[in-house]
Amino acid sequence: MKSERFKIGWEKLKEVDGSAGENVVKSLKDIAPDFADLLIEFPFGDVYSRKELDLKSREIATIAALTAMGNASPQLKVHIQAGLNVGLTKKEIVEIIMQMSVYSGFPSALNGLFAAKEVFENEKK
Amino acid sequence: MKSERFKIGWEKLKEVDGSAGENVVKSLKDIAPDFADLLIEFPFGDVYSRKELDLKSREIATIAALTAMGNASPQLKVHIQAGLNVGLTKKEIVEIIMQMSVYSGFPSALNGLFAAKEVFENEKK
Amino acid sequence: MKSERFKIGWEKLKEVDGSAGENVVKSLKDIAPDFADLLIEFPFGDVYSRKELDLKSREIATIAALTAMGNASPQLKVHIQAGLNVGLTKKEIVEIIMQMSVYSGFPSALNGLFAAKEVFENEKK
Amino acid sequence: MKSERFKIGWEKLKEVDGSAGENVVKSLKDIAPDFADLLIEFPFGDVYSRKELDLKSREIATIAALTAMGNASPQLKVHIQAGLNVGLTKKEIVEIIMQMSVYSGFPSALNGLFAAKEVFENEKK
Amino acid sequence: MKSERFKIGWEKLKEVDGSAGENVVKSLKDIAPDFADLLIEFPFGDVYSRKELDLKSREIATIAALTAMGNASPQLKVHIQAGLNVGLTKKEIVEIIMQMSVYSGFPSALNGLFAAKEVFENEKK
Amino acid sequence: MKSERFKIGWEKLKEVDGSAGENVVKSLKDIAPDFADLLIEFPFGDVYSRKELDLKSREIATIAALTAMGNASPQLKVHIQAGLNVGLTKKEIVEIIMQMSVYSGFPSALNGLFAAKEVFENEKK
């Protein structure tokens, strides 16, 4: 039986990441099903469900961090979509990524913008 | 004579980073005075002065990115102070840094929290 | 009241990290007490307490990763001590760090070795 | 004529990395043949051939480091296969990668698990 | 109307990066046209146009840095081509990338060499 | 008895890094003497002694890479001194570091410049 944290996490995951989050969980089922549980319980059940910060601010932080790290392109795309899901505009997302040119350099910002371009184009379909 | 961008950037730098920003500029004077100009003109004159994102959101993005990168401790401290300057609460800053445990791991979040502790303690003095 | 995960995590933290782990938890009390709970619950309650890998192998993995990342010196020292706590020899720890020269370069291995030197010298006291 | 180190390294490379290692060497022949020699001589002739650590422990360290670095996907796949070659079980490899969520974040662990999934599926063929 | 910096930057971009640079600018037009301007103005108008370092030395620095960072493959390829454009030989470029094995590890050097292989093969066509 | 590679490497290390290099080797003697040998043999005996690139170009590459990586401050300082040893001017070194603001962001360039400031001030004494 799944824990209360799991249930809270699962609802939060669906609210934030939508179907992309569910797909990540599914794709873990045959390789590391326990990790799917941890992914729901810790990031979403423990962290994103805390009241100290609204979801819009959380997604600004995550989009900025993943752009700056520059080595997590699939997760960046999930969170650009998540940003749209929780109410960030495309202009705001583009602006956050542009700002990373100052902190992690132009290549990280460029690759972030191309990730956004891909997500925004899928949105339209 | 300094450019218009420089003047806009200088005002923005003082608004965001306060005396910490001015100190960085001063400390560059004997090693790389031209870089002090670039630092004022590009990040502050060109990027932070854009209207597409409010300063609070910009500092959320920067604190998140510098925490996640984990190799820019002096700049992270400057921007934790900058976050306070533009209206983020200590609780919000702590929450942004805590969230990075999900994306760049617990060591980056721990080191970010200890940086915040140092900045908050200096605040009180 | 603390959860079962917390209790399991707290015992595991003490077993692995010893007093260094307790000190990290203490130093979080005034800045982010909730993060101290998360640190005990997720890494130690959820991950290190799993049976699929022995603690020696877990510390090999952690020492290698923190050496390679090169931006988490305090945590690397805690885990070099943890490696000794769970039965790795000094020679084995030195060898793990040396091997990182291949994957993350000589500077990361050098800085890792100097961290080990510091931990081993404190050991003797 | 190749050096003694080269011969030792070449045998070790084949033992650890199998045909994947040989393919890397081949693919360097037209762009940087000298680098193929260095790759055999230093990592395998000098480091992996040392007696201070068994090959299983070496592969735990390498899989952990490459997962944490998150920017060397082809090499991570080679070493997940190498882990199997030297006797790590799939469960152990999955567990090492899962543990990296604590140190380098969930995206690095997720991308590592998807790399493992790909290697394990090729194994079956 | 475009600024003087923009005009200088645009000429420098074409001199250094050739058509690859122009393509990057074009591909930004629909997602972040302002970022295309910043990209021309700051890196090329402000930095590359400075007289303190010749373009060959600048490209040595950039190829080394992007190889070492290991998370900016498209930009590394653009600058391997740029290195050829400003007079570095293929042998020199290969040697710079090989040297990174010492500082950022063998995986970063290997991935850099495979990027060079791709650029050199396109050259021949 | 030390190998030919060791002898070549030792001469090259002294030529490039001067007393700073010798100090690194000494400080390894009690923690990892074998690693001191590897450090002399591979980076200096195998790589820096190759004829395909002059030492000035090698140091441009290394200063750029270590600045961009941002997590190897002691080694960056050794190589800023090495740059001076092989004939780079202070202005050129400052310029290389400034350029990294484009690729790895302003914090990495700032921290690089402060490292250079420290090395240049020690020079004068």
Q: Which of E71, E94, E98 sits opposite D71 (nearest CB)?
A: E71
> Which pLDDT score, from 0 to 100, does residue E123 have?
83
Q: Which of B31, B34, B42 sits opposite F116 (nearest CB)?
A: B31
pLDDT at E125 over 90: no
Q: How confident is the model at residue E104 (pLDDT cuts 50, 70, 90)?
A: very high
> Could you write out the DSSP letters of every residue in F87-111?
T--HHHHHHHHHHHHHHH-HHHHHH
Q: How confident is the model at residue B17 (pLDDT cuts 50, 70, 90)?
A: very high
Pairwise CA distance, residues F59 & F63, whole Å: 6
Structural domains in chain F, CATH included, are 1-52 (no CATH), 54-125 (1.20.1290.10)
> Which pLDDT score, from 0 to 100, does residue C31 have?
96
Q: Does A86 touch chain E (CB under 8 A)?
A: no
Residue A7 CB neighbours (<10 A) = 13
Which residues, given as ranges, of chain A have pLDDT below 50? Answer: none
Q: Does A42 touch chain C (CB under 8 A)?
A: yes
Subunit contact E107:D39, Cβ cutoff 8 A = no
pLDDT in tens, F87-116: 999 999 999 999 999 999 999 999 999 999
pLDDT at C36 over 90: yes
> Which pLDDT score, from 0 to 100, does residue F42 have?
97
Ranges C32-36, C73-77, E19-23: which has the least confidence: E19-23
User: Residue E79 — left, alpha, or beta (φ > 0 → left; ψ -120 to 50 → alpha)?
Assistant: alpha
Chain F residue numbers with beta carbons less than 8 Å from the beta carbon of B27 are 114, 117
> Could you write out the DSSP letters of every residue in chain C?
---HHHHHHHHHHHHHHHHHHHHHHHHHTTT-HHHHHHHIIIIIIIIIT-TTS-HHHHHHHHHHHHHHH-S-HHHHHHHHHHHHHTT--HHHHHHHHHHHHHHH-HHHHHHHHHHHHHHHHHHH-
Q: Which of A34, A38, A46 sits opposite C38 (nearest CB)?
A: A46
Of the candidates C113, C89, D58, E66, which has an alpha carbon nearest to the alpha carbon of residue F39?
Answer: C113
> Which pLDDT score, from 0 to 100, does residue C2 have?
84
Pairwise CA distance, residues D67 & D108, whole Å: 6
Subunit contact A105:F107, Cβ cutoff 8 A = no
Q: Which of F97, F106, F117 sits opposite B39 (nearest CB)?
A: F106
pLDDT in tens, B50-72: 999 999 999 999 999 999 999 99
Nearest CA in chain D to C44: D102
Nearest CA in chain C to E101: C105
Subunit contact D39:E114, Cβ cutoff 8 A = no
pLDDT at B8 over 80: yes
Of the candidates E47, D109, E11, which has an alpha carbon nearest to the alpha carbon of residue A101?
Answer: E47
pLDDT in tens, E28-78: 999 999 999 999 999 999 999 999 999 999 999 999 999 999 999 999 999
Q: Does F111 touch chain A (CB under 8 A)?
A: no
> Which pLDDT score, from 0 to 100, does residue A86 have?
97
**Residue F64 to residues A5, A100, D54, E67, F105: CA-CA distances in angstroms?**
46, 20, 36, 11, 12
Subunit contact C61:D64, Cβ cutoff 8 A = yes
> Which pLDDT score, from 0 to 100, does residue E6 have?
96
User: Residue D18 — left, alpha, or beta (φ > 0 → left; ψ -120 to 50 → alpha)?
Assistant: left
Chain B partners (3+ C-beta pairs within 8 A): A, C, D, E, F
> Which pLDDT score, from 0 to 100, does residue F124 have?
72
> Which pLDDT score, from 0 to 100, does residue B92 have?
98
Q: Does E104 touch chain C (CB under 8 A)?
A: yes
Q: How confident is the model at residue E2 (pLDDT cuts 50, 70, 90)?
A: confident
Pairwise CA distance, residues D48 & A23, whole Å: 39
> Which pLDDT score, from 0 to 100, does residue B90 have?
98
Name the percent of chain F lying above pLDDT 90: 94
pLDDT at D73 over 80: yes
Nearest CA in chain F to E55: F96
Query: With contact defined as beta carbons under 8 Å apart, do E77 and E90 qualify?
Result: no
Q: How confident is the model at residue D111 (pLDDT cuts 50, 70, 90)?
A: very high
In angstroms, the separation between the Cα of residue A32 and the nearest Cα of chain B is 18
> Which pLDDT score, from 0 to 100, does residue C79 have?
98
Of the candidates C70, F22, E105, which has an alpha carbon nearest to the alpha carbon of residue D47?
Answer: E105
| Selected residue of C38, C39, C44, C60 to mutate for chain D interface (largest D Cβ count, 10 A) | C60
Chain D residue numbers with beta carbons less than 8 Å from the beta carbon of A69 are 70, 107
What is the 3-class SS of A59-105, one letter each residue?
HHHHHHHHHHHCCCHHHHHHHHHHHHHCCCCHHHHHHHHHHHHHHHC
ipTM of the complex: 0.96
Query: With contact defined as beta carbons under 8 Å apart, do F32 and F67 qualify?
Result: no
Q: Which of D34, D42, D50 sits opposite F42 (nearest CB)?
A: D42
Q: How confident is the model at residue C124 (pLDDT cuts 50, 70, 90)?
A: confident
Q: Which helix (H) or strand (E) holds D125?
A: none
Query: Helix axis angle, D106-124 relative to B90-104, nearest 10°?
Result: 10
Q: How crowded is the C-beta side of E118, counted as CA atoms within 13 Å?
A: 12
Subunit contact F102:A105, Cβ cutoff 8 A = yes
pLDDT in tens, B18-54: 999 999 999 999 999 999 999 999 999 999 999 999 9
Pairwise CA distance, residues C43 & E87, whole Å: 52
| Selected residue of C69, C71, C104, C108 to mutate for chain E interface (largest E Cβ count, 10 A) | C104
> Which pLDDT score, from 0 to 100, does residue B124 have?
72
Residue D29 CB neighbours (<10 A) = 10
Nearest CA in chain B to D104: B105
Which residues, 6+ apart, have CB-to-CB distance to E3 below 8 Å? E41
Q: Does E113 touch chain D (CB under 8 A)?
A: yes
In angstroms, the separation between the Cα of residue E42 and the nearest Cα of chain B is 7
pLDDT at E25 over 90: yes
> Which pLDDT score, from 0 to 100, does residue C123 have?
83
> Which pLDDT score, from 0 to 100, does residue A124 have?
72
How many interface pairs between A and B have CB atoms less than 8 angstroms apart?
93
Pairwise CA distance, residues A52 & A61, whole Å: 14
Query: With contact defined as beta carbons under 8 Å apart, do E109 and F63 qualify?
Result: no
Which residues, 6+ apart, have CB-to-CB distance to C3 below 8 Å? C41, C45
Q: Which of C34, C42, C50 sits opposite A42 (nearest CB)?
A: C42
Report residue E87 CA to chain centroid gap.
13
